[in-house]
Amino acid sequence: MKISLITSVYNNQETIAEAIGSVLSQTYPNIEYIIIDGGSTDGTVNIVRSYQDQLAAFVSEPDRGIYDGLNKGIRLATGDVIGFLHSDDLYQDNKVIAKVAQAFTDNPVDSVYGDLTYIDKNDPTKIIRYWQSGLFSLKKLRYGWMPPHPTFFVKRDIYERYGMFDTSFKIAADYDLILRFLGKNRISTYYIPSVLIKMRLGGASNKNWKNVLLKSTEYLQVMKNNDIGSVLSLLIKNLSKLQQFFIKKP
């Protein structure tokens, strides 16, 4: 099984090398790694080019944001399964992709997902929040539950069947994709009960109140588009995040 991993990056010279190193250190042998740069003006491009002989593809050109970049990567991908690693993030360890591949091998499913920890922006060893996904159910999905998108690995033919990221959404395109796949089109999924991704705090969606408002507005539109959820679902979704600060990683 070939697994395609995609990183979309723009002006992130501080952490892109760590993200690349996290992919290249994986023990799983059949990885296709694609990096899409949005036309960075800092040192990002030079850093990525220093790894170019270990990449399946590298594209650097202006784009319309991270989701546009991820879509470009999906179009280039040739793997059986597609996953994403954002340029701020890290895999929990060097066996994550092997664990994902084993989950697909052992279970006849269209997708798998796992848990995620939020880490301090400057200290990757410091865990701030622990997102324990739990088992999937349509009822939970209707009440605002979703798996952490960076841990969501999906077979490539699902993107061909049901589409890629909707770039009309600036912040919630990942939520839309999850509702479209798991809810509207009922693809099958399997939960890996362990941390797969370490995500740095400080993402665009929570950068300021303007972005928080935009995210909430887009979430409601996503729910409407996919005929799943309501204002109550959004409230429950936001309140459920509070427990992530108190659950301790096992």
Sketch out the chain's domains with CATH numbers: 3-245 (3.90.550.10)
Question: What is the arithmetic mean of pLDDT over 191-196?
Answer: 97
Which element (helix H / strand E) includes 71? Answer: helix 66-76
The tokens for 28 are 């799983």
As a whole number of angstroms, the distance between CA 100 and CA 107 comes to 11
State how beta strands 189-200 and 90-91 pair. Answer: antiparallel
Measured distance CA(113)–CA(104) in Å, rounded: 11
Lowest mean pLDDT among 32-41, 123-132, 201-210: 201-210
Torsion of CA 145, 151, 153, 154, to 10 degrees: 20
CA-to-CA distance for 20 and 89, rounded, in angstroms? Answer: 10
pLDDT at 179: 97
**For residue 230, what pLDDT band results from cuts at 50, 70 and 90?**
confident
- Does residue 206 have a pLDDT over 90? no
CA distances from 204 to 109, 209, 248 (A): 31, 11, 25
